[in-house]
């Protein structure tokens, strides 16, 4: 006898109820289509926009708006403090967004609807970031604060927290979840890396078309880039699926006929409060290590990203600020060229050695390459060699770190019995957002202390390239550390953590098995049979097929009676045609399998 366990209604309970909002993914297992469309292509637009804003907004403020210590000391203080203080709003918005996610009872899931809801806010906030309606510096500073908070603390938080939780809620299968998280990180690293090659030239061309008006060039370029994210986010929404959410709510059923099967084998559980989640999370060492590692990694990587355009203008070839766009495009293209082959190298290493060992082994290369590049400031060839080596070493960590998020959540549930999706997503999203502000504040602190000045044009080279006055040696030294030195620190940190502290991977088989055993016992206590989502869906599909076949037979009998046809003959025609179709499909699959073996 089945027992119904009901939950109270919450946010978006009556939203997105039309079938046109349903996920286009209906399989119990994660498919290549879901991975590529939902986790690679779909998130690409938002991640590209974020990457550009992270890398260029600081340069827009120092070099276009002129917020430097040379101009006014209060500007120097502002550049250091406002990114940090803005993260106080992030603390609030991430807590709020965590609560919102756990309170969402939308038919389409608890995170996917917020992907759609974030689109207009992200586009609006990006446009406002690069539209400056004021000429006075204090009014400009106020506008910067407003638009910065709107983007980082509200709109991007809404999208990013939902995106980060999607792999963890997509499946309980550890291998499939790892693949999804890895695919998402490929998009974050390789995809945005490609943009870092192309975008400088695009921006330079648009600014030139605006007769050298960099402010208008930035506004037009970023408006266009933000609009690209709109259709891609819809792809992300439609080609993802929250199987874990469906399992916990008892929403795996597909049709009315399958509802009976679903009702006999599903049990809906209420979500724990954020306070309850926090109490169990802070007692789990893997959860703490994971969150702190993500936090530190994002601070260091954001400092590196923010400093890139400065590094290309003042360090790679010395003072070549006028040619920074071309230098950055060439530098990124060569330095990132090993990323593609590197992925091909990392995947078999992960299969043979596991994620943990592959990560700490790669960190050794990161340290060696970055130390070499750091010592060779001004020597473009050696810098590119060292940077490429460091990038290869960092591939495994960059692509695999978020695959541990679902593992950590499962470990907390295994240890305490409490699921912590909302809180973990909130902390990870908060760590990423706080990291941006901290990285920007630290980088700007270095610029202001070393007397970095707004670039001053002093003439043209014989090739027609603009020439700029030199920056202080201390400023270029700081820029060098911000780009290469951060990777040295990151490599050392990753080695220590994954070599000596974080061994969760080897415990996951036990965790996954025991969680399923508990689920079986829990269902049995309610007089119900627990079925894994794949088996439950298989039975529901069988019930659906039976219903469809019964309807077909009834319709055919009615037609035969009306038209005076022989039902048996007509039915046999249909069955023969269906058998031929199935035989053709099986033959095609066999040929494909034989070809794959060769």
- Burial class of residue 125 (count of CB atoms within 10 Å of its CB; 0-12, 13-18, 19+): buried
473 and 575 in a common domain: no
The Cα 34–Cα 41 span in angstroms is: 10
Judge whether residue 118 has pLDDT over 70. Answer: yes
Token pair recorded at residue 529: 């049979």
Tens-place pLDDT, residues 90-103: 778 888 888 898 88
What does the pLDDT average to over 41-68?
A: 89
485 and 388 in a common domain: yes
Tens-place pLDDT, residues 373-402: 999 988 888 998 999 899 889 888 888 888
37 is a domain residue? yes
Residue 305, CB half-sphere, CA atoms under 13 Å: how many? 26
The Cα 313–Cα 53 span in angstroms is: 18
Domain boundary among 500, 518, 550: 500
Look up tokens 């390459």; give the residue: 369
- Beta strand residue intervals within 465-567, DSSP E: 466-468
Q: Given pLDDT bands bounded at 50, 70 and 90, which one contains residue 270?
A: low
The Cα 355–Cα 503 span in angstroms is: 10
590 and 456 in a common domain: no
pLDDT for 189 equals 63
295 and 174 in a common domain: yes
pLDDT for 249 equals 66
Instruction: Give which of 322, 301, 401 is closest to 54, Cα–Cα.
Output: 301
How would you label 493-518 residue by residue, b for 16+ Cβ within 10 Å and e otherwise? bbbebbbeebebbeebeebbeeeeee
What does the pLDDT average to over 289-314?
A: 92
pLDDT for 159 equals 94
The Cα 106–Cα 162 span in angstroms is: 14
Bridge partners (DSSP) of residue 139 are: none
Neighbours of 521 (CB within 10 A): 10
470 and 385 in a common domain: yes
Token pair recorded at residue 18: 């039309």
Residues 71 and 454: beta-carbon distance below 8 Å: yes
pLDDT for 258 equals 46
- Beta strand residue intervals within 84-137, DSSP E: none
Q: Given pLDDT bands bounded at 50, 70 and 90, which one contains residue 596?
A: low
Look up tokens 């076949």; give the residue: 549
Sign of the torsion formed by the C-alpha atoms of 229, 235, 239 and 242:
positive
225 is a domain residue? yes
Q: Given pLDDT bands bounded at 50, 70 and 90, which one contains residue 55?
A: confident
570 and 480 in a common domain: no
**C-beta contacts of 292-295 below 8 A and 24+ residues apart:** 293/401, 293/493, 293/494, 293/497, 293/502, 294/401, 294/402, 294/428, 294/431, 294/432, 295/431, 295/434, 295/435
Average pLDDT, rounded, for the chain:
85
pLDDT for 264 equals 53
The Cα 257–Cα 91 span in angstroms is: 46
Q: Given pLDDT bands bounded at 50, 70 and 90, which one contains residue 237?
A: very high
Start-to-end Cα distance in the chain: 52
Neighbours of 285 (CB within 10 A): 12
464 and 597 in a common domain: no
Give helix 403-416 / helix 156-170 axis angle, nearest 10°: 70
Residues 531 and 516: beta-carbon distance below 8 Å: no
Domain boundary among 475, 500, 525: 500
246 is a domain residue? no
Judge whether residue 280 has pLDDT over 70. Answer: yes
Give helix 192-209 / helix 324-335 axis angle, nearest 10°: 160
Q: Given pLDDT bands bounded at 50, 70 and 90, which one contains residue 314?
A: very high
488 and 586 in a common domain: no
pLDDT for 282 equals 93
Token pair recorded at residue 360: 């700490």
DSSP string across 287-299: HHHHHHHHHHHHH
478 and 583 in a common domain: no
573 and 485 in a common domain: no
**How large is the C-alpha radius of gyration of the chain?**
27
User: Could you tell me the CA-to-CA distances from 421 to 98, 237, 289, 379, 551 in Å, in that order?
Assistant: 9, 19, 17, 47, 42
Bridge partners (DSSP) of residue 460 are: 466
294 and 413 in a common domain: yes
Look up tokens 């996954």; give the residue: 512
> Which secondary structure element, helix H or strand E, spans residue 193, and what is its range?
helix 192-209
Q: Given pLDDT bands bounded at 50, 70 and 90, which one contains residue 38?
A: very high
Domain boundary among 500, 525, 548: 500
259 is a domain residue? no
> What's the domain count of the chain?
2
User: Could you tell me the CA-to-CA distances from 315 to 56, 319, 398, 475 in Å, in that order?
Assistant: 17, 7, 25, 10
The Cα 170–Cα 183 span in angstroms is: 13
Indicate the range of 1-10, 235-244, 329-338, 574-583 predicted with least confidence.
Answer: 1-10
pLDDT for 253 equals 38
Token pair recorded at residue 86: 């803005």
Tens-place pLDDT, residues 515-571: 888 888 877 787 777 766 666 667 766 776 787 788 788 888 988 998 999 999 999
148 is a domain residue? yes
Tens-place pLDDT, residues 194-232: 667 788 888 888 888 888 788 899 999 999 999 989 999
467 is a domain residue? yes
The Cα 536–Cα 523 span in angstroms is: 14
Judge whether residue 191 has pLDDT over 60. Answer: no
323 is a domain residue? yes
Plot region of 152 (φ>0 → left; ψ -120 to 50 → alpha; else → beta): alpha
Residues 281 and 423: beta-carbon distance below 8 Å: yes
Instruction: Give which of 291, 282, 295 is closest to 415, Cα–Cα.
Output: 282
Sign of the torsion formed by the C-alpha atoms of 397, 400, 401 and 407:
negative
pLDDT for 5 equals 40
Whole-number percent of the chain with pLDDT over 70: 89
Judge whether residue 479 has pLDDT over 60. Answer: yes
Q: What are the residues whose beta carbons fall under 8 Å from the beta carbon of 240, sequence distance 6 or more?
A: 23, 25, 34, 38, 39, 42, 112, 166, 170
Residues 407 and 356: beta-carbon distance below 8 Å: no
What does the pLDDT average to over 264-283?
A: 77
DSSP string across 255-299: STTTHHHHHHH----PPPPHHHHHHHHTT-HHHHHHHHHHHHHHH
> Domain limits at 583?
566-598
- Burial class of residue 348 (count of CB atoms within 10 Å of its CB; 0-12, 13-18, 19+): exposed
The Cα 304–Cα 298 span in angstroms is: 10
Judge whether residue 255 has pLDDT over 50. Answer: no
Q: Given pLDDT bands bounded at 50, 70 and 90, which one contains residue 368?
A: very high
Q: What is the pTM of this model?
A: 0.71
575 and 461 in a common domain: no
Bridge partners (DSSP) of residue 316 are: 318
Look up the CATH number of the domain holding residue 419. 1.20.1250.20
The Cα 254–Cα 77 span in angstroms is: 58
pLDDT for 491 equals 96
The Cα 469–Cα 457 span in angstroms is: 7
552 is a domain residue? no
Judge whether residue 109 has pLDDT over 80. Answer: yes
């Amino acid at each position: 006898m089945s027992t119904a366990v009901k939950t109270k209604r919450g946010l978006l309970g009556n939203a997105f109820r039309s079938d046109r909002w349903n996920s286009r993914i209906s399989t119990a297992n994660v498919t290549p289509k879901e991975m590529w469309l939902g986790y690679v292509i779909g998130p690409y637009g938002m991640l590209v926009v974020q990457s550009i804003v992270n890398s260029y907004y600081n340069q827009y403020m120092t070099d276009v708006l002129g917020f430097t210590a040379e101009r006014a000391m209060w500007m120097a203080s502002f550049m250091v403090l406002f990114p940090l203080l803005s993260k106080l709003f992030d603390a609030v918005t991430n807590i709020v967004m965590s609560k919102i996610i756990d309170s969402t009872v939308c038919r389409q899931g608890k995170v996917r609807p917020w992907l759609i809801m974030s689109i207009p806010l992200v586009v609006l906030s990006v446009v406002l970031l690069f539209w400056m309606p004021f000429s006075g510096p204090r009014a400009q500073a106020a506008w910067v604060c407003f638009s910065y908070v709107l983007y980082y603390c509200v709109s991007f938080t809404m999208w990013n927290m939902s995106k980060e939780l999607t792999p963890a809620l997509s499946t309980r299968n550890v291998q499939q979840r790892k693949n999804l998280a890895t695919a998402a990180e490929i998009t974050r690293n390789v995809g945005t890396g490609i943009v870092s090659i192309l975008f400088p030239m695009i921006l330079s061309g648009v600014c030139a078309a605006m007769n050298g008006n960099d402010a208008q060039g930035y506004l037009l370029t970023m408006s266009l880039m933000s609009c690209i994210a709109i259709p891609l986010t819809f792809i992300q929404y439609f080609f993802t699926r929250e199987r874990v959410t469906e399992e916990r709510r008892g929403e795996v059923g597909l049709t009315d006929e399958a509802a009976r099967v679903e009702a006999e084998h599903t049990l809906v559980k209420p979500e724990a409060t954020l306070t309850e989640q926090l109490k169990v999370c802070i007692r789990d060492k893997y959860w703490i290590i994971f969150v702190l590692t993500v936090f530190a990694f994002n601070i260091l990587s954001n400092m590196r990203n923010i400093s890139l355009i400065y590094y290309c203008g003042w360090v790679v070839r010395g003072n070549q600020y006028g040619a920074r766009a071309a230098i950055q495009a060439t530098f990124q293209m060569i330095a990132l060229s090993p990323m593609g082959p590197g992925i091909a190298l990392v995947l078999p290493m992960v299969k043979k050695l596991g994620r943990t060992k592959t990560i700490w082994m790669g960190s050794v290369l990161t340290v060696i390459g970055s130390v070499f590049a750091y010592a060779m400031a001004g020597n473009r060839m050696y810098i590119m060699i060292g940077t490429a080596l460091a990038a290869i070493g960092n591939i495994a960590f960059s692509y695999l770190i978020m695959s541990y998020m679902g593992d950590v959540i499962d470990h907390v549930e295994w240890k305490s019995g409490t699921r912590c999706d909302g809180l973990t997503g909130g902390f990870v999203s908060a760590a990423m957002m706080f990291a941006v502000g901290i990285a920007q504040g630290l980088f700007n602190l270095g610029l202001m202390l070393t007397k970095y000045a707004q670039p001053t044009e002093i003439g043209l080279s014989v090739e027609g390239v603009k020439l700029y006055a030199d920056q202080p040696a201390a400023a270029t030294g700081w820029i060098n550390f911000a780009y290469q030195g951060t990777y040295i620190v990151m490599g050392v940190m990753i080695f220590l953590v994954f070599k000596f502290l974080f061994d969760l991977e080897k415990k996951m088989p036990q965790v996954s098995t025991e969680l399923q055993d508990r689920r079986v016992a829990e269902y049995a206590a309610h007089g119900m049979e627990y079925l894994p989502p794949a088996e439950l869906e298989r039975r529901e599909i069988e019930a659906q097929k039976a219903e469809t076949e019964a309807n077909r037979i009834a319709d055919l009998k009615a037609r035969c009676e009306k038209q005076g046809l022989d039902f048996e003959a007509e039915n046999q025609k249909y069955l023969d045609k269906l058998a031929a179709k199935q035989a053709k499909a099986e033959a095609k699959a066999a040929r494909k399998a034989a070809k794959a073996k060769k």
